[in-house]
Amino acid sequence: MDATMKRRDFLKTAAAVGAGTIAGSPELLANAGRLGAQGKVRPVVIASANGMKATARAMEIIQGGGDALDAVIAGVNIVEDDPNDMSVGYGGLPNEEGVVELDSSVMHGPTGRGGAVASLRNIKNPSKVARLVMERTDHVLLVGEGALRFAKAHGFKEEELLTDAAREVWLRWRESHSTKDDWLPPHDLETKDVGHNLDEFFRTTGTINCNGLDLRGNISGVTTTSGLAFKIPGRVGDSPILGAGLYVDNAVGAAGSTGRGEANLLSCSSVMIVEYMRAGKSPEEACLQACKRIAEQTRMKRLLDENGRPSFNVNFYAINKKGEYGGAAIWSGSYYAVNTGEAESRKMECAYLYKREKGS
């Protein structure tokens, strides 16, 4: 081999090392595939129930040879950009002051890295910013004003995230959650207890989690949310916390969650689900075990029903290295989206601890 060829090979190798900071670089992915994939890989993408389009898009990218992280982020971007999903991204329901604050985390299995942002305002794709935190900083989590400045430094444009529809929901909540303040809903001379109609509102805790296993046998995941509707400004749930709202181990599997973030933060369930799978449990069994763990840890009476069961719900979604998948929730009636390579995604019912009574 001549000197020119040797120099070319050297530059190619050096470029591959440099590209190691970019999750989707071809050189890195090829190396990761040799390390990760053993035999034929059965690709799979799983997401929360609002991820039907996300799982289909992610599988399309995976079947085209794409990296799982590229795939799942592209999938959830569909939901982040959708103003009709009021729990994620653009159009998400705001905090109690009417400001939309977004959280997200990503993990890239083959490199073992992760990144996250919390309380990010004015940027509708927090999953993309979380990825940049992973790729372009020595940190894992950026929050608030610092996260916004970082996003702007990388070319993200600020925009208003509060849609007219979300603003209307927020105003109705603001006007109706108390008779003790000066915010009033429309009323007439005969109206009594004006402003007291809190039962009308379901405080949205929706999120989207999406995890994928690609053709190289590598696993990645993302969770993104606008958080609890009408929250105290600055509140952060489990979604941007690695080990709680998302966790990936390329040798085992991935797990993520939606639902009451506070309960999951106290339990760090996603990392526990991965460990349960490492110990031999199936994805569904591992998710169900995480639900049991939360139920056992919940002792505050205000969070329990008359039978001592959690009055809230938490949902988990998981895949393992073999391409098996499953989901579970504390209460029945929850679903998840899954795509194993078919043209359309399927909606599957989660396993559950407790069955809801009709009408409850």
Residues forming the active site:
207
Report the alpha-carbon distance of residue 130 to residue 146 in Å, rounded.
Answer: 13
Q: Taking Cα atoms as reference points, which of 272, 236, 271 lies closest to residue 120?
A: 236
Report the alpha-carbon distance of residue 292 to residue 300 in Å, rounded.
Answer: 16
- DSSP states along 123-190: -S-HHHHHHHHHHHSS-SEEEHHHHHHHHHHTTPPP-----HHHHHHHHHHHHHB-SSSS---S--TT
Which residue type occupies 106? V
Q: Taking Cα atoms as reference points, which of 165, 176, 104 lies closest to residue 140?
A: 104
Strand order in the sheet with 351-354: 246-249, 253-259, 314-320, 325-331, 351-354
* Residues in CB range of 280: below 8 A, 6 or more apart: none
Query: Cβ(103)–Cβ(237) under 8 Å?
Result: yes
Query: Cβ(269)–Cβ(316) under 8 Å?
Result: yes
Report the alpha-carbon distance of residue 86 to residue 80 in Å, rounded.
Answer: 9
